Amino acid sequence: MERGKMAEAESLETAAEHERILREIESTDTACIGPTLRSVYDGEEHGRFMEKLETRIRNHDREIEKMCNFHYQGFVDSITELLKVRGEAQKLKNQVTDTNRKLQHEGKELVIAMEELKQCRLQQRNISATVDKLMLCLPVLEMYSKLRDQMKTKRHYPALKTLEHLEHTYLPQVSHYRFCKVMVDNIPKLREEIKDVSMSDLKDFLESIRKHSDKIGETAMKQAQQQRNLDNIVLQQPRVGSKRKSKKDAYTIFDTEIESTSPKSEQDSGILDVEDEEDDEEVPGAQDLVDFSPVYRCLHIYSVLGARETFENYYRKQRRKQARLVLQPPSNMHETLDGYRKYFNQIVGFFVVEDHILHTTQGLVNRAYIDELWEMALSKTIAALRTHSSYCSDPNLVLDLKNLIVLFADTLQVYGFPVNQLFDMLLEIRDQYSETLLKKWAGIFRNILDSDNYSPIPVTSEEIYKKVVGQFPFQDMELEKQPFPKKFPFSEFVPKVYNQIKEFIYACLKFSEDLHLSSTEVDDMIRKSTNLLLTRTLSNSLQNVIKRKNIGLTELVQIIINTTHLEKSCKYLEEFITNITNVLPETVHTTKLYGTTTFKDARHAAEEEIYTNLNQKIDQFLQLADYDWMTGDLGSKASDYLVDLIAFLRSTFAVFTHLPGKVAQTACMSACKHLATSLMQLLLEAEVRQLTLGALQQFNLDVRECEQFARSGPVPGFQEDTLQLAFIDLRQLLDLFIQWDWSTYLADYGQPNCKYLRVNPVTALTLLEKISREVRYGKTQRPAEDIQEREEAPVSLRGGHSQSRSGSWACRMG
């Protein structure tokens, strides 16, 4: 029973499911019925479903049939009506066909017009489209035409900008046209063309700058010179009312020896033409002379093209090459100042250009690059100047070179370049300048000394007197009181030498100008150079004059007088240096002038030369001596040569009145001693193998003449009989033989108050042998007893001579 209930429940569920599926089939679109049917086949009751489906279909067929039966009459009526309408429709069709035929016939012209209108509208549309397209293409063509024009006029940087606009703004809008593709293909070529042309302009610029660096440098140095002149004027204005003369006024004499030349100007397309201007007109700036636009254009072009680094490397490389060329001095640069000026102008021009490039471009050159170039330039310039300046022998050229170097350094210092090494090098050139000055002044001193007449300067009027005193610091109250005409004690070379020493100091001071040295350094430099002038140059000149073969005693005496006055003037030279350097001599480390020593040495050399010259003159007179040593006649007067000699000595010593007393006395004593010694040698000469007492008497007369000259006091200041002592040896020797006082000589020899104390036994023996030889040959006229006494008395003297030549031993033998 339960099974039956369960079966009945299942059949009810199945029926309900089949009913749902049927409703779904009826209400669902045919395309979506598949899932519904699948659910039927998935179940187990599809047979029963088919039965229900057949039942449902029969039900619907019965409903359709009922509906058709219900509307059949209406359908028949509709068919009847439709048949009627067909006839009317045929009529209407015929009318429409006729109307259409008529319309086609009537509208044929309209259709043609419409076709023409259609073609016009089409053409209008095409034209409008063409105009639109051309409006897009025209800016491109205009920009391209503008680009070509800019290329032709060499406006490369605007051309590059136009090319950029053309490529990025205009061409993309019409890129599908063939001509645009041609343009696009030409753009890289145009860029390369612009790049090459701008580089060519840069090369032309660099070549022009290389050729005209000297013009740029000349202008820059003119500006620096003008600025320095203005600064000097400003500095000098507060000192207008000052009583002290400026250094510049002190240079007036020396300035006349300095000549300057102006460099020639050049012109080129890369340099703006500038006419020569007067000193009082404004000099254009160095940058105003140069057109830097090629550099700027090329830099911008390469920057836009992304090749700035390439451009920078190329520019720096080329400028380094040009720097090496500029720094190579010409081989003959040392011959003229223009050679140095052109060399400096080129260097200044080079660095003025680089400095301008540094400050007007960003990164094309940097400070490290400029400093590197300057270090190279500084080392090469200093080396070149050291080499070429060493060839300069003209102090004026060296001074001009120094001024040019200072201007060169000041110009570059304005542009921020360190120039301390140049000023250090100038200190080296200063030593060379001093050497050239010393050589020049050696010639000046030589000319002064050679042209001097070595006579006191005659003065005939007050004007001449003041002129000489104005040239040389001399004060003598006695001379001032004397009436005209009168004479200065010194000759013309004294004021000339004194003024030339001052000129030398001016020249040394001239070199120290603008070297940024302290007053102490300038003072030290001047004093050291002046000491060299005095101790070396002037001293050598004086020594050469003194040592000349044809120098006379008068000249030597005048040289002594001159050097005495020059020695006194050294203190005025000290004051002169102090006045122009403003450094007191009491300052620590101040160098002292050695002029006093120089003139003392020259005076001593002149004194020695006087002594030597006097002795030579005496020897020349003695060469005229012609004694007849075998004569038996007794003379009554002195020999002629000796009389002339004494007269010469008197006149010579009369010139010594202006000499210092000691010098005159020494010269006189030296002459008398030399005369006595020469007479002694003449008497004892080996060639005189024998002599007579008559000859000895004549010789005695000559000696008496000499003694008379000594007693006459040819030079004041000698004590009584002091000068006669020069002839004491001769006098005692002659007295011994003429008086034949051998007993006294032998008895008193060796005693402090011996009568013949100055007679040397050897000398006496030599003379005795000559006289004894004469006696042996029987040529004497003396009595026999005297002859015997003469031969016997000095036997012990001759014996002593055979064993010893000392006088004391001979006296003991006696």
Q: Using an 8 Å Cβ cutoff, are 676 and 729 in contact? A: yes
The whole-number pLDDT of residue 302 equals 82
Q: What percent of the chain has pLDDT over 90?
A: 3
d(CA 498, CA 494): 6
Q: Using an 8 Å Cβ cutoff, are 352 and 286 in contact? A: yes
What is the number of other CB atoms lying within 10 angstroms of the CB of residue 321?
A: 12
pLDDT higher at 430 or 41: 430
Mean pLDDT calculated for residue range 765-777: 68
The whole-number pLDDT of residue 782 equals 44
Mean pLDDT calculated for residue range 136-161: 80
Q: Which one-letter amino acid corresponds to residue 717? A: G
Residues 71-116 have pLDDT tens digits of: 888 888 888 888 888 888 888 889 999 998 888 888 888 888 888 9
Question: What is the average pLDDT score of the chain?
Answer: 78
Going by the DSSP 8-state scheme, the letter that residue 758 receives in this structure is: T
Determine which of 49-53, 282-286, 524-528, 786-790 has the lowest per-residue pLDDT on average. Answer: 786-790
Q: In this model, does residue 644 exceed pLDDT 60?
A: yes
Whether residue 485 has a cis bond before it, omega within 30° of 0: yes
Binning the chain into helix, strand and coil, the percentages to the nearest 5 are 75, 0, 25
CB-based burial, 511-537: b 16+ in 10 Å, e otherwise: bbebbebeeeebbbbbbebbbbbbbeb
Residues 225-276 have pLDDT tens digits of: 888 788 777 766 554 344 334 333 433 333 333 333 333 333 333 444 443 4
pLDDT band at 669 (very low <50, low <70, confident <90, very high): confident
- Give the predicted TM-score (pTM) of the model: 0.64
CA-nearest of 633, 741, 610 to 693 is 633
Mean pLDDT calculated for residue range 491-508: 90
Q: Using an 8 Å Cβ cutoff, are 432 and 508 in contact? A: no
The whole-number pLDDT of residue 653 equals 79
pLDDT band at 796 (very low <50, low <70, confident <90, very high): very low
Mean pLDDT calculated for residue range 158-170: 78
Tokens in use for 503? 């000129």
pLDDT higher at 282 or 378: 378
CA-nearest of 568, 547, 668, 551 to 618 is 668
Going by the DSSP 8-state scheme, the letter that residue 452 receives in this structure is: -
Q: In this model, does residue 805 exceed pLDDT 60?
A: no
- How many Cα atoms are found within 13 Å in the side-chain-facing hemisphere of 569? 24
Q: What percent of the chain has pLDDT over 70?
A: 84
The whole-number pLDDT of residue 487 equals 85
E strand or H helix at 486, and its extent?
Answer: strand 486-487
The whole-number pLDDT of residue 560 equals 84
Residues 575-613 have pLDDT tens digits of: 888 888 877 766 645 667 766 777 788 878 888 887 888
The whole-number pLDDT of residue 126 equals 92
Q: Which residues touch 658 (CB under 8 Å, ≥6 apart)? A: 489, 557, 561
